[in-house]
Amino acid sequence: MKDASAPSLSRSLLSHSKASSYDSKDLDVYANLVPLSEHKAEQQELFLHSENMHVGTDHVCKEGELEKKYKEAEKRVNLLSQEQKLLSDSDFDVSSLVDDERVGLALEVLTLLRSQIDERASAKEEIKRAKTVSELHIKRLEKEKNELQFELEKEIDRRSVEWTSKLESFQMEEKRLRERVRELPEHNVSLQREVSTFHEKETERIVMMRNMEEKFNELSETAEERHQENVYLTQNLSKLQESYTGATEEIDYVRREFEEKEMECKVLHKSVTRLLRTCGEQEKTIQGLRDSFSEEPKKQPSEDMVKKLQMEQIRLTGVEFSLRKEVESMKLEADSLRVENACLRSYDTMTSFKLDNEMKMCVCLLQDQGVLMLSESTQLCYKLLKFIKERLSEEMVNGLSEQFLIESEMNVHGIRCGTESLKRSLQTVNSLLLEKANEIASNSESTMSSEQNNQTVEVSFISTKGLLHVCLWR
């Protein structure tokens, strides 16, 4: 009985340990192992039921045999006790010993059988207790199984809903991807066309870039040449400005000298007018003397009159001599002034004319070539900036390239403002040269008028001189 109950208890404990181990597992494992656990539980229940049936049948059979043996042993003991009584009545000694031995053996067998029956009863009670424990454990396991099954069903329902939604989304995605796959060949064809056109454009752009690089090199060379010419012209302009300042200083000096000489000429003109006035008075006196000399000898020629005339002639010769000296000095002074004015005028006009011509040539050269070169260089800079912007917009730019573009734009704008200021300064210089030419022309006209006045004064001097000679000769 102990041997039969031990495996059943071990199996029940094993099943209990397995169930407890199943309790500690995750629901996802149970969700994947539900059919296997149910199959194992069914096999375990069938095995326990068959084992219990087998143990029960074995127990009933062995209990019946033990009762039969016990009854047989009781019968034998009774028979032996009766035989012993009979033998004791017959007073047979040897057989009594044997009978005693047999009765002892029968009693031992009876005690053994009784002990086995008691053990069988205790084992039966233990089996009943094990059955109750196993039934309780089975009920608890069934309850846990039902709970787990309910939770697993809920989890399966939730998972099924999720998987159905995922399946629908996957189906929609599959449909979209199939449509996309259908559209991809057309898109691939269009992309191939675009790639071919892009390659063609790239080759064209490479050729264009080479041409632009060649043009850029040429334009950079021309810009360098124009820059050198501009530097040369600016140097010449600075030199011309220095020479112009020197010439203006010389012109101012000559103008001051000319004004001084003009003042001297005015003073001389006043003195000449005074001399003309005195000459006119002397002519009147000479005319009166001539008239008196022509009338008085006719009336009364006398020695006193001759003496008076001689005295008057001496006085007039002294006046003539003084007048001749004064006229000669005035003539020499007028000649010196004429020569000095001619020299000053020729030097002033020549220097100013040369300087004005050089200034005009430089200003015209700067206006024609320098400003044109600067405008072409600014246009070239704008074109280069535009080209660089297009290139950088195609091949994405960092902060440094943007800063370079901003600085280059500011530099180009500064060059443009400089060219405009240079244009304005050249225009002002040209206007100043024109004003100076007009002033020189007006001054030359005034000098010509002063020369004409001097010539008239000289003519008047010559005429007075001739009259004096005529009067004295008469």
Instruction: Output DSSP code: residue 91.
Output: T
pLDDT at residue number 473: 42
Q: What is the pLDDT of residue 84?
A: 61
- Specify the pLDDT at position 12: 41
388-408 as b/e: b if 16+ CB within 10 A: eeeeeeeeeeeeeeeeeeeee
Residue ranges of domains in the chain: 2-190, 223-473
Q: How many helices (H) and strands (E) does the chain have?
A: 6, 0
Kind and range of the H or E run holding 41: helix 27-90
Q: What is the DSSP track for 414-458?
A: HHHHHHHHHHHHHHHHHHHHHHHHHHHHHHHHHHHHHHHHHHHHH
Tens digit of pLDDT at every position of the chain (474 positions) = 434 433 443 344 334 443 344 343 343 433 343 343 444 444 444 444 444 444 444 555 566 676 777 677 677 767 766 766 665 655 545 456 666 766 677 777 777 877 878 888 888 888 888 889 989 999 999 999 999 999 999 999 999 999 999 999 999 999 999 898 888 888 888 888 888 888 898 898 888 888 888 888 888 888 888 888 888 888 888 888 887 788 778 778 777 877 877 787 777 777 777 777 777 776 776 666 666 656 555 555 556 666 666 676 676 666 666 667 777 777 766 666 665 565 555 555 555 656 666 666 666 766 666 667 677 777 777 777 777 777 666 554 455 556 666 666 776 777 777 677 777 777 777 777 777 766 766 665 565 555 555 444 444 444 444 444 444 444
What pLDDT sits at residue 302? 58
The alpha carbon torsion through 402, 404, 408, 411 (nearest 10 deg) reads 120
Q: Is pTM beyond 0.75 here?
A: no
Q: Of 225, 178, 232, 184, nearest to 377 (Cα)?
A: 225
What is the pLDDT at residue 96?
60
Report the pLDDT value the prediction gives residue 157, as an integer from 0 to 100: 92
